[in-house]
């Protein structure tokens, strides 16, 4: 799948100013990597730094995109007609080491640890990390719940 052609808003319900993912760098059924450039007008800009709430939201949106992707096949990355609802059901661990400066581009990597799927919903446990120039800024593990709306 050519990740440059993926419109992340098809996998996530978030819109500006609450969208904390700019680009999908790579994605498959078990892993996703995203990039986000922190702008001055970002709602999580706290005195020139991307704050802890923003970093947690970036991680959650990246994790959500891997679960959301499973509702689309490789030819249908536009997600036409598919509507999803999802939320974090638990944050099992969260470690924030540093907050990046506004203007930085962070990379977020998520990997599914386990999942439970039924006809009506999916629940996943996902490990996630945020890096800036190979330096880890955040690591976490969270559970997500997603289901398709009729």
Domain boundaries of the chain, sorted by first residue: 3-148
- Residue 128: is its pLDDT beyond 80? yes
Q: For residue 131, which of 102, 111, 107 has the smallest C-alpha distance?
A: 107
- Residue 11: is its pLDDT beyond 90? no
- Residue 9: is its pLDDT beyond 60? yes
**Does domain 3-148 fall into CATH 3.10.129.10?**
yes
- Residue 1: is its pLDDT beyond 70? no
Angstrom distance (rounded) from CA 108 to CA 38? 13
Task: Provide the pLDDT for residue 6.
Answer: 72
Task: Provide the pLDDT for residue 15.
Answer: 72
- Residue 32: is its pLDDT beyond 70? yes
Q: For residue 142, which of 78, 98, 94, 70 has the smallest C-alpha distance?
A: 94
For 51-105, how does the pLDDT look when each residue is reduced to its tens digit (9 = 90+)? Answer: 999 999 999 999 988 877 766 655 554 544 556 677 899 999 999 999 999 999 9
Task: Provide the pLDDT for residue 16.
Answer: 81
For the chain, give the mean pLDDT.
86
């Amino acid at each position: 799948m050519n990740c440059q052609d993926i419109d992340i808003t098809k996998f996530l319900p978030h819109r500006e100013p609450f969208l904390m993912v700019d680009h999908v760098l790579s994605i498959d059924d078990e892993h996703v990597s995203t990039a986000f450039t922190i702008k001055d007008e970002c709602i999580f800009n706290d005195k020139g730094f991307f704050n802890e709430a923003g970093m947690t939201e970036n991680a959650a949106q990246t994790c959500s995109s891997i679960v959301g992707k499973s509702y689309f096949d490789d030819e249908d990355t536009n997600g036409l007609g598919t509507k999803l609802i999802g939320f974090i059901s638990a944050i099992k661990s969260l470690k924030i080491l540093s907050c990046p400066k506004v203007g930085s581009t962070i990379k977020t990597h998520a990997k599914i640890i386990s999942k439970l799927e039924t006809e009506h919903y999916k629940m996943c446990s996902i490990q996630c990390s945020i890096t800036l120039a190979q330096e880890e800024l955040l690591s976490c593990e969270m559970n997500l719940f997603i289901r398709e709306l009729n």
